[in-house]
Amino acid sequence: MVIKENSLGTLTIGEIAATLPGATAVFRKFKLDFCCGGDAMLVDAVRKRGLDIGLVEKTLAALDPSTSAPAPEATGALIDHILSRYHETHRRELPELVRLARKVEAVHAGHPEAPRGLADTLEAIQVELEEHRQKEETELFPLMRQEHDSGAELPIAQMRLDHDRHGELLRRLDTLAHGFALPGDACRSWEALYVGTDKLIDDVMEHIHLENNVLFPRFEHREAA
Protein backbone atom coordinates (compact mmCIF):
# COMPACT_ATOMS: atom_id res chain seq x y z
CA MET A 1 0.00 0.00 0.00
CA VAL A 2 1.46 3.37 -1.00
CA ILE A 3 0.75 5.90 1.72
CA LYS A 4 0.77 9.61 1.17
CA GLU A 5 0.42 12.13 3.95
CA ASN A 6 -3.04 13.72 4.12
CA SER A 7 -4.60 10.72 2.33
CA LEU A 8 -5.33 8.53 5.32
CA GLY A 9 -8.03 10.38 7.20
CA THR A 10 -10.89 8.96 5.13
CA LEU A 11 -9.81 5.33 5.57
CA THR A 12 -10.87 3.28 8.58
CA ILE A 13 -8.32 2.35 11.22
CA GLY A 14 -8.95 -1.33 10.43
CA GLU A 15 -8.26 -0.82 6.70
CA ILE A 16 -4.98 0.93 7.43
CA ALA A 17 -3.95 -1.68 10.04
CA ALA A 18 -4.72 -4.49 7.57
CA THR A 19 -2.77 -3.04 4.63
CA LEU A 20 0.09 -0.98 6.06
CA PRO A 21 2.78 -3.08 7.82
CA GLY A 22 3.82 -1.50 11.11
CA ALA A 23 0.68 0.65 11.43
CA THR A 24 -0.58 -1.26 14.47
CA ALA A 25 2.47 -0.20 16.50
CA VAL A 26 1.74 3.44 15.62
CA PHE A 27 -1.89 3.04 16.68
CA ARG A 28 -0.78 1.51 20.00
CA LYS A 29 1.61 4.41 20.55
CA PHE A 30 -1.19 6.95 20.04
CA LYS A 31 -3.65 4.75 22.00
CA LEU A 32 -5.96 4.40 18.96
CA ASP A 33 -8.05 1.21 19.10
CA PHE A 34 -7.30 -0.67 15.86
CA CYS A 35 -8.85 -4.03 16.77
CA CYS A 36 -12.34 -3.58 18.25
CA GLY A 37 -12.62 0.04 17.09
CA GLY A 38 -11.34 -0.75 13.59
CA ASP A 39 -14.54 0.45 11.89
CA ALA A 40 -13.91 4.08 12.86
CA MET A 41 -12.44 6.46 10.28
CA LEU A 42 -8.94 7.53 11.28
CA VAL A 43 -9.88 11.21 11.29
CA ASP A 44 -12.81 10.58 13.67
CA ALA A 45 -10.80 8.40 16.07
CA VAL A 46 -7.98 10.96 16.14
CA ARG A 47 -10.41 13.80 16.82
CA LYS A 48 -12.07 11.82 19.63
CA ARG A 49 -8.71 11.36 21.37
CA GLY A 50 -7.80 15.03 20.91
CA LEU A 51 -4.75 14.20 18.76
CA ASP A 52 -3.21 16.01 15.80
CA ILE A 53 -4.27 14.25 12.55
CA GLY A 54 -1.23 15.71 10.74
CA LEU A 55 1.18 14.13 13.23
CA VAL A 56 -0.53 10.72 13.08
CA GLU A 57 -0.57 10.75 9.24
CA LYS A 58 3.07 11.83 9.11
CA THR A 59 4.09 8.99 11.47
CA LEU A 60 2.19 6.43 9.38
CA ALA A 61 3.61 7.76 6.10
CA ALA A 62 7.15 7.49 7.51
CA LEU A 63 6.83 3.72 8.13
CA ASP A 64 9.15 1.47 6.19
CA PRO A 65 6.94 -1.46 5.04
CA SER A 66 9.99 -3.68 4.44
CA THR A 67 10.77 -3.88 8.18
CA SER A 68 7.54 -5.71 9.17
CA ALA A 69 6.65 -9.21 8.02
CA PRO A 70 3.13 -9.31 6.53
CA ALA A 71 0.64 -11.96 7.71
CA PRO A 72 0.25 -14.97 5.34
CA GLU A 73 -2.06 -14.33 2.40
CA ALA A 74 -3.83 -17.71 1.99
CA THR A 75 -6.68 -18.37 4.45
CA GLY A 76 -5.34 -21.75 5.66
CA ALA A 77 -1.86 -20.32 6.24
CA LEU A 78 -3.32 -17.27 8.00
CA ILE A 79 -5.30 -19.52 10.37
CA ASP A 80 -2.16 -21.60 11.04
CA HIS A 81 -0.29 -18.39 11.83
CA ILE A 82 -3.04 -17.21 14.24
CA LEU A 83 -3.00 -20.58 16.03
CA SER A 84 0.76 -20.86 16.47
CA ARG A 85 1.70 -17.21 16.97
CA TYR A 86 -1.27 -16.17 19.18
CA HIS A 87 -3.48 -18.99 20.52
CA GLU A 88 -0.53 -21.11 21.71
CA THR A 89 1.44 -18.11 22.98
CA HIS A 90 -1.46 -16.88 25.13
CA ARG A 91 -2.05 -20.40 26.47
CA ARG A 92 1.61 -20.55 27.51
CA GLU A 93 2.03 -17.03 28.92
CA LEU A 94 -1.20 -16.26 30.80
CA PRO A 95 -0.87 -18.79 33.70
CA GLU A 96 2.60 -17.38 34.49
CA LEU A 97 1.29 -13.80 34.45
CA VAL A 98 -1.56 -14.73 36.84
CA ARG A 99 0.96 -16.38 39.17
CA LEU A 100 3.27 -13.34 39.05
CA ALA A 101 0.39 -10.91 39.67
CA ARG A 102 -0.79 -12.88 42.72
CA LYS A 103 2.75 -12.81 44.11
CA VAL A 104 3.26 -9.06 43.51
CA GLU A 105 -0.16 -8.18 44.96
CA ALA A 106 0.54 -10.27 48.09
CA VAL A 107 4.14 -9.12 48.69
CA HIS A 108 3.35 -5.43 48.07
CA ALA A 109 -0.16 -5.39 49.59
CA GLY A 110 0.63 -2.23 51.58
CA HIS A 111 2.23 -0.34 48.66
CA PRO A 112 0.10 2.63 47.46
CA GLU A 113 0.88 1.84 43.79
CA ALA A 114 0.31 -1.93 43.99
CA PRO A 115 -1.80 -3.23 41.05
CA ARG A 116 -4.75 -4.41 43.15
CA GLY A 117 -7.14 -6.64 41.21
CA LEU A 118 -4.71 -7.31 38.35
CA ALA A 119 -4.45 -11.05 39.11
CA ASP A 120 -8.24 -11.49 39.10
CA THR A 121 -8.58 -9.62 35.80
CA LEU A 122 -5.75 -11.62 34.19
CA GLU A 123 -7.45 -14.80 35.37
CA ALA A 124 -10.79 -13.63 33.89
CA ILE A 125 -8.98 -12.99 30.58
CA GLN A 126 -7.37 -16.43 30.75
CA VAL A 127 -10.78 -18.12 31.18
CA GLU A 128 -12.55 -16.00 28.54
CA LEU A 129 -9.78 -16.39 25.96
CA GLU A 130 -9.73 -20.17 26.42
CA GLU A 131 -13.52 -20.44 25.92
CA HIS A 132 -13.26 -18.17 22.88
CA ARG A 133 -10.31 -20.08 21.36
CA GLN A 134 -12.23 -23.36 21.73
CA LYS A 135 -15.09 -21.92 19.66
CA GLU A 136 -12.72 -20.70 16.93
CA GLU A 137 -10.66 -23.88 16.86
CA THR A 138 -13.53 -26.39 16.87
CA GLU A 139 -16.27 -24.52 14.93
CA LEU A 140 -15.31 -21.41 12.99
CA PHE A 141 -11.80 -22.13 11.71
CA PRO A 142 -12.64 -25.65 10.38
CA LEU A 143 -15.56 -24.07 8.49
CA MET A 144 -13.27 -21.42 7.03
CA ARG A 145 -10.63 -23.97 6.03
CA GLN A 146 -13.26 -25.70 3.90
CA GLU A 147 -13.91 -22.35 2.19
CA HIS A 148 -17.66 -22.74 2.68
CA ASP A 149 -19.68 -20.02 1.03
CA SER A 150 -22.15 -19.74 3.90
CA GLY A 151 -22.55 -20.56 7.57
CA ALA A 152 -19.74 -18.42 8.93
CA GLU A 153 -21.78 -15.24 9.41
CA LEU A 154 -23.34 -16.10 12.80
CA PRO A 155 -20.22 -17.49 14.48
CA ILE A 156 -18.22 -14.50 13.18
CA ALA A 157 -20.75 -12.08 14.74
CA GLN A 158 -20.40 -13.95 18.05
CA MET A 159 -16.58 -13.83 17.85
CA ARG A 160 -16.71 -10.08 17.21
CA LEU A 161 -18.82 -9.63 20.38
CA ASP A 162 -16.29 -11.72 22.34
CA HIS A 163 -13.47 -9.53 20.97
CA ASP A 164 -15.25 -6.38 22.18
CA ARG A 165 -15.42 -7.89 25.64
CA HIS A 166 -11.70 -8.82 25.49
CA GLY A 167 -10.95 -5.20 24.54
CA GLU A 168 -12.77 -3.99 27.68
CA LEU A 169 -10.71 -6.35 29.87
CA LEU A 170 -7.46 -5.18 28.24
CA ARG A 171 -8.34 -1.56 29.02
CA ARG A 172 -9.03 -2.61 32.62
CA LEU A 173 -5.54 -4.17 32.83
CA ASP A 174 -4.00 -0.88 31.72
CA THR A 175 -5.97 1.03 34.40
CA LEU A 176 -5.22 -1.43 37.24
CA ALA A 177 -1.49 -1.35 36.41
CA HIS A 178 -1.48 2.48 36.34
CA GLY A 179 -0.46 2.55 32.68
CA PHE A 180 2.47 0.20 33.48
CA ALA A 181 4.44 2.96 35.21
CA LEU A 182 6.72 1.17 37.71
CA PRO A 183 7.39 2.79 41.09
CA GLY A 184 11.05 3.46 41.91
CA ASP A 185 11.16 0.65 44.49
CA ALA A 186 9.57 -2.03 42.26
CA CYS A 187 11.13 -5.50 42.54
CA ARG A 188 12.14 -7.76 39.62
CA SER A 189 8.83 -9.68 39.77
CA TRP A 190 6.82 -6.44 39.55
CA GLU A 191 8.89 -5.35 36.56
CA ALA A 192 8.47 -8.75 34.86
CA LEU A 193 4.72 -8.60 35.51
CA TYR A 194 4.33 -5.18 33.85
CA VAL A 195 6.58 -6.02 30.88
CA GLY A 196 4.74 -9.32 30.35
CA THR A 197 1.25 -7.84 30.73
CA ASP A 198 2.03 -4.93 28.40
CA LYS A 199 3.30 -7.43 25.79
CA LEU A 200 0.16 -9.53 26.29
CA ILE A 201 -2.02 -6.49 25.50
CA ASP A 202 0.02 -5.84 22.32
CA ASP A 203 -0.32 -9.47 21.29
CA VAL A 204 -4.05 -9.80 21.97
CA MET A 205 -4.74 -6.57 20.06
CA GLU A 206 -2.69 -7.77 17.05
CA HIS A 207 -4.51 -11.10 17.26
CA ILE A 208 -7.98 -9.52 17.33
CA HIS A 209 -6.97 -7.17 14.51
CA LEU A 210 -5.91 -10.10 12.28
CA GLU A 211 -9.25 -11.80 12.85
CA ASN A 212 -11.57 -8.75 12.78
CA ASN A 213 -9.91 -6.83 9.95
CA VAL A 214 -8.17 -9.45 7.79
CA LEU A 215 -9.68 -12.94 8.22
CA PHE A 216 -13.38 -12.33 9.01
CA PRO A 217 -14.14 -9.82 6.19
CA ARG A 218 -13.16 -12.49 3.61
CA PHE A 219 -16.25 -14.48 4.65
CA GLU A 220 -18.62 -11.64 5.56
CA HIS A 221 -18.20 -9.95 2.17
CA ARG A 222 -18.83 -13.25 0.44
CA GLU A 223 -22.15 -13.74 2.23
CA ALA A 224 -23.18 -10.11 1.70
CA ALA A 225 -22.57 -10.61 -2.04
**Footprint of Fe ion on this chain (CB under 5 A)?**
136, 211
For the CB of residue 168, give the shortest distance to Fe ion in the complex, in Å: 14
Is 115 strand, coil or helix? coil
| Segments in 108-186 forming alpha helices (H) | 118-135, 141-145, 153-176
CB closer to Fe ion out of 41 and 71: 71
Residues 163 and 36: beta-carbon distance below 8 Å: yes
CB closer to Fe ion out of 108 and 209: 209
For the CB of residue 210, give the shortest distance to Fe ion in the complex, in Å: 8
CB closer to Fe ion out of 87 and 108: 87
Residues 6+ apart with CB under 8 A from 206: 24, 35, 86
DSSP 8-state secondary structure symbol assigned to residue 74: S
For the CB of residue 26, give the shortest distance to Fe ion in the complex, in Å: 23
For the CB of residue 11, give the shortest distance to Fe ion in the complex, in Å: 23
Query: Distance between CA atoms of 166 and 5, rounded to whole angstroms?
Result: 32
Question: For the chain, how many helices (H) and strands (E)?
Answer: 11, 0
Q: Is the dihedral of CA 6, 66, 195, 214 positive or negative?
A: positive
CB closer to Fe ion out of 33 and 211: 211
Is 12 strand, coil or helix? strand
CB closer to Fe ion out of 119 and 212: 212
For the CB of residue 30, give the shortest distance to Fe ion in the complex, in Å: 24
